Structure formats: structure tokens, C-alpha cells
Chain A
Amino acid sequence: MGVSEAYFDTASAAPLHPAARQALAAALDDGWADPARLYSRARRARQLLDAARGATAEVLGVRPDELSFTAGGTAAAHAAVLGALAARERVGRGLVHSAIEHSAVLHAAERHVAAGGTAHEVGVDRLGRVDLAAFADAAAQPGTALAALISASHEVGTVQPVEAAGEACAQHGVPLYVDAAQSVGRVPLPFGWSLLTASAHKWGGPPGVGLLVVRKGTRFVQTGPSEERTDRSTDLPAIVAAAASLRAAQAEAAALAERHRVLVDRIRATVAATVPDVEVVGDPADRLPHLVTFSCLYVDGEALLHALDRRGFAVSSGSSCTSSTLTPSHVLVAMGVLSHGNVRVSLHRDSTEADVDRFLAELPGIVADLRAEAGVVDL
């Protein structure tokens, strides 16, 4: 990554952690054989896979045999949703999910509905927190086979009441699936879930490695290619790198979160004070440490993103003009907050105070210029 660029889109893809790079290089030399074979080179590959599984399970606080690796976060989310639903068809075909799930989970829900199942979407408040009472009510309905709740919003950072939701689900024997992609390797994981997924390139591992945890006693059937169960078809060097970087990220997580919280607090306060007509969204306190989202009134999100890019800031946006479908972020819509002129800043381990301060110094002028160009000053 170029030093002049301030990369603020970790929530989409984190830059590769040095521990991942090192482990990847070693595993490319040492872990290319088929881990299911019986000669010594294959057994070496098998050892690497087992060690990666053990290390990853330890970080997650689960048993190694509860964890499998998938070909990415989306594959893990689909396997979790569709596998848990398929295993409980005799109970019913109802899926309950929050309105702010990641699109990978929503696409799995769409697939479930297309196959004859039902999906019940539960709304969120203005801060992006799921309506817990409605979620519990939906989980209690006869025929509910699975409930899904993201650990914390990938778009606005609001932490979700996973443990309370898990308790409500457990009362009715409904398994809770948690998409923890933004939390794993960053913040302590909640308790009370039955299935959990994550994605290595969100914590600094390589792309193309997902985690799927199915707790003991949870009904589950494999819905994808049958080989995935044994991880044989997955990318072993990438898995080794993912495990190494997760362990490194976990070791750094508490100190990094503290540093990120200070910077994100500064962004929240400074943007609100220096940019007129801006809405900083998401829960101000109970949120992910590294991520902040705000919307600038009367500003075109795509124009803002490109203006920031020209000044060396890589951010993402939930505005409709920046999406391939030209629809606004379903998370911002569910919260009922301004969706145009939207910017999401997400920090990584090498984000510096100087990067953030330069961003904060330049943003008011960039927004003012865009408003002046559009003739929307003093509206």
C-alpha cells in the first residue's frame, strides 16, 4: 500500500497482516500437498491444517471439531444459514433475521425463500440496534427454524444484543446464527449463539478464507460441495496465513481497539462540529471500535467518494449512487437515516493519527466545495 494513501476501508478488506504474509510464504513452500493423502508430505500439509484449525478455534473459544474453513465469508454465511435451515425442516421453514444483516446473509435468505421457505425481517432503531422484543417474538413463532443476528453492523458499527437474542432463542429451542465478520480478531465475541461465521480478510488474513463454527448439539447439514466438510478443497496456505494473522490480530486487539476508539471518537466529534448539516450515524457508545459512518446533506455520495480519493483517502459509501444496484444501503434505510452523501471510515492497524487528522482537516473543505458546485449553500 502506498504511503501517501490513507486507506480507510478495512471493513471491506483489511490490508494483509505481516503475520499472514510470513505464514503464507512458508505454507506455500510447505503446505501445497493434498492433506488427505498418506505420504509424509501430505501428512505435513495435514499437520498445518490441523494446527491452523487448533489455533483458530482457540482464538474463538470453540472446539477444533466445531470449526471448518470455507472458501470465504460469503460461502460461510450461506453454509450456516442454509445448512441450519435444512437440518430443521421438520420443525419448520421460518428464518428470522435483522434488517441489517450483511448482504451475504440476505442473499442466503432470498435463496431460502425462493426454495419455499419464509423469512421474517426484524427492524432496527435509529441507532441501528435490532428491536429485541420483536426479534424474540419472531423467534418464538411456531415454525421458526433459525434466527440470524449480525454481531455488530458492518456499515454503522452498532453492536447488537446477541446474548439477549440468544437467550430468547434458546427458550424456544431455536438456534441463533451470528455473522461475526466485523468482530472476530477485534473485540471479544458474545456468548449464546449456535452458529457463527467470519471472514479472514476482515482481520488482515488473505481473501478467500471463511470460518464456519457449528456448536456441538446444533443440528446442521452440509449444503455445499461435500468435500468442504473436510476442508480438503480449500486453500491450505491461505488458511495457515488466516490462522497466523488471527492469532496476531487477537494479541493486538485490545490495544488497537483502545487506539481506534480514540480516533473514531475524534472523527465523530470533529465531523459533527466542522461539517455543517452532517448526520453521524450509529450508536455513539456501544459500537465497533474501528468504524464510523456519517452522511452529508445535499452531497452526492459518489462525488464525495471520488473527491476524497483524489486527496488520497479510500472510504466506502452506502449512498445509492455508489452501489451497483443504485439503491441506498439497506442498513441506512432500515435505520431511517440520511443515505445520500454517506461515508464510512474504517481503520486498520497501520492507520495513523496523522492520517485521521489530515482527513479531518480536509473534509470540511471538500464537502463545502461540492456543495458550492451544486449550488446548495445556505439551503
Chain B
Amino acid sequence: MTEILDCRGQRCPLPVIALARRLPELPVGATLRVLADDPAAATDIPAWCRMRGQHYLGSPETHAFDVRRDV
């Protein structure tokens, strides 16, 4: 089951900070769904994954972003 991190209503860079705090607490291979409606999230969540060696799985729906812990 995918854990959900609700960052709706938070402005950048708060959703990315919340993601960076939560993902390392999950086991490698786990998926986290970040809900964020700040317009920067769609760019900054994939960019964070690239910078941190994590796997950005895509956006299954508007304001939702799936990330898999790879490292």
C-alpha cells in the first residue's frame, strides 16, 4: 500500500522538505505519494529525486506525485 504525504496548501519548498524527511523513514523500494498543489511541486519533486538518487514514478493524477525510495 502506498503511503500518502499530504502537503496540499503548502508553498514551495515545504512539500519537498516534507518528502525529504519522510522518504528515508520508509524501507528501500517503498513508494510514497506526495499530494501537493503548489505549482512548483511538479518540477521540484522530480528534480529532488534526480539530485538524491531516488526514483520519480510520475504523477498519477493532478497534484499527486509518486516517489520510490531507491537509496
Q: How far is the CA of A337 from the CA of B46 in the complex (A)?
A: 8
Q: Name A9-40 residues within 8 Å CB distance of B.
A: none
Is the beta-carbon distance between A336 and B43 smaller than 8 angstroms? yes
Number of A-B contacts (CB under 8 A): 63
Q: How large is the interface on B (under 10, 10 to 19, 20 to 34, 35 or more residues)?
A: 10 to 19
Q: How far is the CB of A83 from chain B (nearest CB, A)?
A: 32
Known contacts A297-B51, A321-B12, A338-B48; A328 and B17 CB within 8 A of each other: no
Nearest A residue (CB) for B47: A338
Contact with A along B23-55 (1 / 0, CB 8 A): 000000000000000111011101110010000
Is the beta-carbon distance between B13 and A341 smaller than 8 angstroms? yes
Is the beta-carbon distance between B12 and A320 smaller than 8 angstroms? yes
Known contacts A279-B51, A326-B39; A339 and B20 CB within 8 A of each other: no
B residues near A319, Cβ cutoff 8 Å: 12, 40
Is the beta-carbon distance between B51 and A379 smaller than 8 angstroms? no
Which of B13, B17, B38, B48 counts the most A-chain CB atoms under 10 A from its CB? B13
B residues near A320, Cβ cutoff 8 Å: 11-12, 38-40
Is the beta-carbon distance between B51 and A339 smaller than 8 angstroms? no
Q: How far is the CA of A308 from the CA of B46 in the complex (A)?
A: 27
Q: Is A230 engaged at the interface, CB distance under 8 Å to the other chain? A: no
Q: Name A157-185 residues within 8 Å CB distance of B.
A: none
Q: Is A298 engaged at the interface, CB distance under 8 Å to the other chain? A: yes
Q: How far is the CB of A331 from chain B (nearest CB, A)?
A: 11
A residues near B46, Cβ cutoff 8 Å: 336
Given A301, A338, A376, which contacts B51 in the complex, CB threshold below 8 Å?
A: A338
A residues near B39, Cβ cutoff 8 Å: 320, 326-328
A residues near B11, Cβ cutoff 8 Å: 320-321, 326
Is the beta-carbon distance between A340 and B51 smaller than 8 angstroms? no
Q: Is B16 engaged at the interface, CB distance under 8 Å to the other chain? A: yes
Given A300, A327, A339, which contacts B47 in the complex, CB threshold below 8 Å?
A: A339
Q: How far is the CA of A277 from the CA of B39 in the complex (A)?
A: 22
Q: How large is the interface on A (under 10, 10 to 19, 20 to 34, 35 or more residues)?
A: 20 to 34
Contact with A along B8-21 (1 / 0, CB 8 A): 00011100110011
Q: How far is the CB of B70 from chain A (nearest CB, A)?
A: 17
Given B13, B21, B43, B51, which contacts A300 in the complex, CB threshold below 8 Å?
A: B13
Q: How far is the CB of A200 from chain B (nearest CB, A)?
A: 33
Q: How far is the CA of A341 from the CA of B42 in the complex (A)?
A: 15
Given B13, B20, B42, which contacts A340 in the complex, CB threshold below 8 Å?
A: B13
Q: How far is the CA of A37 from the CA of B42 in the complex (A)?
A: 57
Is the beta-carbon distance between A339 and B17 smaller than 8 angstroms? no
Which of A301, A320, A333, A337 counts the most B-chain CB atoms under 10 A from its CB? A320
Nearest A residue (CB) for B39: A327
B residues near A338, Cβ cutoff 8 Å: 43-44, 47-48, 51
A residues near B51, Cβ cutoff 8 Å: 277, 279, 297, 338
Nearest A residue (CB) for B24: A379
Residues of A that sit less than 8 Å from B by CB? 277, 279, 297-301, 319-321, 326-328, 332-333, 336-341, 374, 376, 379
Closest 5 CB pairs of A and B: A340-B13, A338-B47, A328-B40, A379-B20, A340-B12
4 more contacts with CB within 8 A, not counting A328-B40, A339-B40, are A319-B40, A328-B44, A338-B51, A339-B47
CB<8 Å pairs between A and B, sample of 16: A277-B51, A279-B47, A298-B13, A298-B20, A299-B13, A319-B40, A326-B39, A328-B39, A332-B43, A336-B43, A336-B46, A337-B43, A338-B44, A338-B48, A376-B17, A379-B21
